[in-house]
Amino acid sequence: MPTDSEHLLKYQANRVVLDKLRADPEHLLEWISIVAFYCAVHLIEALAYHDEKRNSADHTERSRYLTKSNHAVLHQNLNALRTASETARYQSCRMFQAHFRASSVEYLVTYHLKTIEDYVLNVWNGGTSQAI
**86 in any annotated domain:** yes
User: At 29, which CATH number?
Assistant: 1.20.120
Q: How many domains does the chain have?
A: 1
**90 in any annotated domain:** yes
Buried b (16+ CB within 10 A) or exposed e, 72-100: eebbebbbbbbebbebbeeeeeeebeeeb
Q: What is the pTM of this model?
A: 0.89
Query: Which strand (E) or helix (H) includes residue 26?
Result: helix 25-52
**132 in any annotated domain:** no
**131 in any annotated domain:** no
pLDDT for 130 equals: 45
Cβ within 8 Å of residue 51, ≥6 positions away: 69, 70
pLDDT for 128 equals: 54
Residue 57 burial (C-beta neighbours within 10 Å; 0-12, 13-18, 19+): exposed
Nearest residue to 25 via CA among 108, 93, 106: 106
**130 in any annotated domain:** no
**85 in any annotated domain:** yes
Domain limits for position 20: 4-124
pLDDT for 124 equals: 82
Tens of pLDDT, residue by residue over 52-77, are 888 888 999 999 999 999 999 999 99
Which stretches in the chain have pLDDT values below 50? 129-132
**129 in any annotated domain:** no
**115 in any annotated domain:** yes
Residue 21 burial (C-beta neighbours within 10 Å; 0-12, 13-18, 19+): buried
